[in-house]
A and B are shown apart, each in its own frame.
With several copies, the nearest count.
Chain A
Amino acid sequence: MKDSFENQDGESIVFNMIETIQKNAKVLSEIDGAIGDGDHGINMSKGFTICKQRLEANPGDFAGGLRTLGRVLMAEIGGAMGPLYGTFFLELSRVAGNQQTITRECFQRMLESGSEAVMSLGNAKVGDKTMVDTLVSAVEAYRKAAASGADLAAALAAMATGAAEGKESTRNLVAKVGRASRLGERSRGIPDAGATSCALLLESMARSIRVLLAKE
């Protein structure tokens, strides 16, 4: 198992995220429908599908794929998700951009920078029942694992677990921002849609990178 991967080999990570969103579009809309307006899967898969077309026409590296994804989300999705996920992926891309090799440290900087940008743009805090709950928990888990000496693969595994935990934590929260806030107490019991999609995306990244690392 390697401890880093080449930027130029990483576009598959983006393709896999796209596939994840497309596969889970219905589930995401259903979750959003329970306490929001039911369009999260539609919004996301629309943007990710456009990105796929762009990437197929114009292949590139990991940073390039992330940049296309971020740009498409920013240009095509609108709402709050467009700029938030758009910013997230553009930040990941910016940090990865001038790196030939993506190391454990590099990926940590990507995650930190991405999650900070999301929080500064959206003003949501942990506990508001948003994608931020997933993001912060995942980044925290990655950071802790790395600090205690885990290699990239192990840190990614920790991130995936952290993401799932963050997502799960939203189940018992009351929504404070976004459409689900309409329901107040009634939003309890259902996880947040954005937190769910964010966990799916981070889990997918962890899985894809570990596949790359396992390759000879």
Chain B
Amino acid sequence: MQRIINDPNEVVEDMLKGFVLAHPGLIAATGNPRVLKYAGAPIAGKVGVVTGGGSGHKPAFIGYIGRNMLDAVAVGEVFTSPSAQAFHDAFKTAHAGRGVACLYGNYAGDNMNVKMARRLAEDDGIEVKTVVANDDVPSAPKSEREKRRGVAGEVLMWKVGAARAARGGSLDEAVAAAQKAIDNTRSMGIGLTPCTIPAVGKPNFTIEPGKMEVGIGHHGEPGIRVDTLRPAREMAEMMLDVILPDLPFSSGDEVVVLVSGLGATPVMELYILYGAVANLLHESGIKVYRPYIGNYFTSLEMMGVTLTVMKVDDELKELVDAEAECMGLTQFARRATT
């Protein structure tokens, strides 16, 4: 295990220490060591925007704490949901009197911990509403969409929900915007190598060289099949063939595309894939309104990629384009030169 760590059981603690030191003025620690917040939070008059999830997905989740982004994040062990207590404390941290939008991914642990945390927050008189991301198409058939996992589409859900809240939206409005974002978003991943949780010390699944796991999840959850490794342009086709019919996306649609590496895939390759995706979308008459290419939601040192497509209308465009400042996604308000 070729790692830059101290005690493998303390990677989350050590990472959080470094993260807080690295982003003064943007990130602040809180009373709960497993909760970080935006230095400016809670922001008077603003709906609090919160998420939480296991570690090992950088920039997710704490990398999206910031200006016009998330107010507080509950932090779990590597690939493990944060505790109910952490979610509860994150709610309290972000709450400025107008309620809290908890925008998180559909995993058994997260569902349970958020459920318990909401109960606790209710006792405090904090209104919490949730949006559960389920953009990962291969994880369940469309008829069971509520079973699908949340993957890189969460980044767009956060961006949109947080921008709505930053613009003065009510709790219902922020939640509605985030829900609309995720309802219009579909994703799919391809895994090329496994990854190793530091505390475990060896990969807990394998992908043979020359193979790829189509539809893999963000923690190595099983895909829909193992296939021989294909050229980037066939991978793009394969993913769009699953993603596009599911919403469905149709000719004339405008979309945001997010190509996120899983961690160890060189960024060069993400652009190669994007080139293929852009061509195919063009051929389908679908217009890319705005692409994001980079490591937005990773799985430690897995090689591979997640492709995410979100259909946008004027409202979603406006919210995606809003200025944002955080470790994972800093952008100026859209103008000619972006």
Complex interface bits, B212-237 against A, C-beta within 8 A gives 1, otherwise 0 = 00000001111000000000000000
Query: B113 contacts A179, CB within 8 Å?
Result: no
Complex interface bits, B181-208 against A, C-beta within 8 A gives 1, otherwise 0 = 0000000000000000101101011000
**How many residues of B are in contact with the other chain, CB < 8 A?**
28
Alpha-carbon separation in the docked complex, A39 to B199 (Å): 8
Query: B80 contacts A79, CB within 8 Å?
Result: yes
Is B163 an interface residue when CB atoms closer than 8 A count as contact? Answer: no
Most buried by A among B76, B79, B113, B205: B113
Contacts of A121 in B (CB 8 A): 112, 115
**Given that A74-B83, A78-B86 are contacting pairs, would A37 and B108 also be in contact in the complex, using a CB cutoff of 8 Å?**
no
**Distance in Å from the Cβ of A177 to the closest Cβ of chain B?**
7
Contacts of B83 in A (CB 8 A): 74-78, 82-83
**Distance in Å from the Cβ of B53 to the closest Cβ of chain A?**
10
Contacts of A183 in B (CB 8 A): 222
Alpha-carbon separation in the docked complex, A82 to B205 (Å): 24
Contacts of B219 in A (CB 8 A): 37, 179
**Chain A: which residue is nearest B200 at the CB level?**
A38
Alpha-carbon separation in the docked complex, A182 to B215 (Å): 12
Contacts of A75 in B (CB 8 A): 83-86
Complex interface bits, A106-140 against B, C-beta within 8 A gives 1, otherwise 0 = 00000000000000011000000000000000000
Alpha-carbon separation in the docked complex, A122 to B79 (Å): 18
Contact of A179 among B9, B77, B115, B221 (CB under 8 A): B221
Interface residues of B in 101-120 (CB under 8 A from A): 108-109, 112-113, 115-116
Alpha-carbon separation in the docked complex, A183 to B223 (Å): 11
Contacts of A83 in B (CB 8 A): 83-84, 109, 112-113, 115-116
Is A42 an interface residue when CB atoms closer than 8 A count as contact? Answer: yes
Is A33 an interface residue when CB atoms closer than 8 A count as contact? Answer: yes
Query: B84 contacts A122, CB within 8 Å?
Result: no
Task: Report the contact-size class of chain A (Cβ under 8 Å from the partner).
Answer: 20 to 34
Alpha-carbon separation in the docked complex, A179 to B85 (Å): 23
Alpha-carbon separation in the docked complex, A184 to B205 (Å): 13
Query: A37 contacts B109, CB within 8 Å?
Result: no
Is B82 an interface residue when CB atoms closer than 8 A count as contact? Answer: yes
**Distance in Å from the Cβ of B291 to the closest Cβ of chain A?**
29
Contacts of B84 in A (CB 8 A): 74-75, 82-83, 86
Query: A42 contacts B112, CB within 8 Å?
Result: no
Alpha-carbon separation in the docked complex, A79 to B84 (Å): 9
Contacts of A33 in B (CB 8 A): 200, 202, 204
Query: B199 contacts A78, CB within 8 Å?
Result: no
Is B81 an interface residue when CB atoms closer than 8 A count as contact? Answer: yes
Contacts of B77 in A (CB 8 A): 39, 43, 78-79
**Distance in Å from the Cβ of B147 to the closest Cβ of chain A?**
11
**Distance in Å from the Cβ of B103 to the closest Cβ of chain A?**
18
Contact of B108 among A38, A39, A87, A178 (CB under 8 A): A178
Known: A33-B204, A83-B112. 14 other contacts (CB 8 A): A33-B200, A38-B200, A78-B76, A78-B83, A79-B54, A79-B80, A79-B81, A80-B112, A82-B83, A83-B84, A83-B109, A121-B112, A179-B221, A182-B220
Binding site for A on B (CB under 8 A): 9, 54, 76-77, 79-86, 108-109, 112-113, 115-116, 197, 199-200, 202, 204-205, 219-222
Binding site for B on A (CB under 8 A): 29, 33, 36-39, 42-43, 46, 74-80, 82-84, 86-87, 121-122, 177-179, 181-184
- Between A and B, 26 residue pairs with Cβ closer than 8 Å are A33-B204, A37-B79, A37-B200, A37-B220, A38-B197, A39-B77, A39-B200, A42-B200, A75-B84, A75-B85, A78-B76, A78-B81, A78-B109, A80-B109, A82-B84, A83-B83, A83-B115, A83-B116, A84-B112, A87-B116, A121-B112, A121-B115, A122-B108, A178-B108, A181-B222, A182-B221
